A = this chain, B = another copy of it.
Amino acid sequence: MSSDVSVPQAGVRPVDVDRTSPVPLYFQVATRLQELIEKGEIGVGARIENEVDLAERLGVSRPTTRRAIQYLVERGMLVRKRGVGTQVVHPKVRRPVELSSLYDDLVAGDRAPRTEVLSLEVMPAPDTIAAALEIAPGTPVTWIERLRYAGGEPLALMHNAIPVDVLPLTADDLATHGLYELLRRNGLTPRIATQIIGARSATTSEAKILDEKRGASLLTMVRTAWDVGGRALEYGSHVYRASRYSFELNLSAG
């Protein structure tokens, strides 16, 4: 096999682990390996040393080494095959990162984002929103309408509903902070969300607000986010100018 030539055994220098440190040994090993991989010192496609030898040289047990490797395998940096060995995968294929967090970071990437709170009121939840949030219809929610700008242009019209017993909100808060930032600051961590992305033509009023022609294509996104306890934190129904915005996602299988 010619591939053997291009798959050199990569070594990890021995003296590495610090047994006085409070950070677990397996994590120290994993971090060390990750560094070597990211610096390119182990090279894409290279086989790393086998578990047994690596454990011996680092002075830790095989289960500890194994756990370190497993950690990196789960993060998508390594691939193991029984009877073969453990290889470094291509950087392009890494990042099992769940998904681009939300939407803010996308606009924040290059263009100066700005958010204008058009309205904010507490009202009883209508049926559709109550259903999405899995709360009783009529439960008081804070209903927010915001207009997001990027690069001086309107980008998105966002509607959100947050149950008041989840978090009371004021317009001042939202003027300076993102909704998710406010949630997190109050100990409310969204864990999963379901999104539906679609498209439709702009209504006359939407077109006016977003500075588009009537009938222009809009991207729509409806989302509900839950925390660890399964409590719905937020419902959102947003429309984006398709001419200025798109969703980018990285998915990983297996």
Residue positions of A touching B, CB distance < 8 A: 44-45, 74, 76, 79, 89-96, 98-99, 101, 134, 189-201, 215-220, 226-231, 242-243, 245-254
Contact = CB atoms under 8 A, between A and B. Distances in A.
Given A217-B200, A230-B89, A230-B91, A193 B251 contact: yes
A99 B249 contact: yes
Q: Shortest 9 CB-CB distances between A and B: which pairs?
A: A90-B230, A198-B246, A199-B199, A199-B242, A99-B251, A197-B247, A192-B252, A199-B217, A217-B217
A218 B199 contact: yes
B218 A93 contact: no
Given A199-B242, A230-B44, A250 B194 contact: yes
Nearest to A232: B92
A90 B226 contact: yes
B228 A201 contact: no
B248 A200 contact: no
B248 A194 contact: yes
A248 B93 contact: no
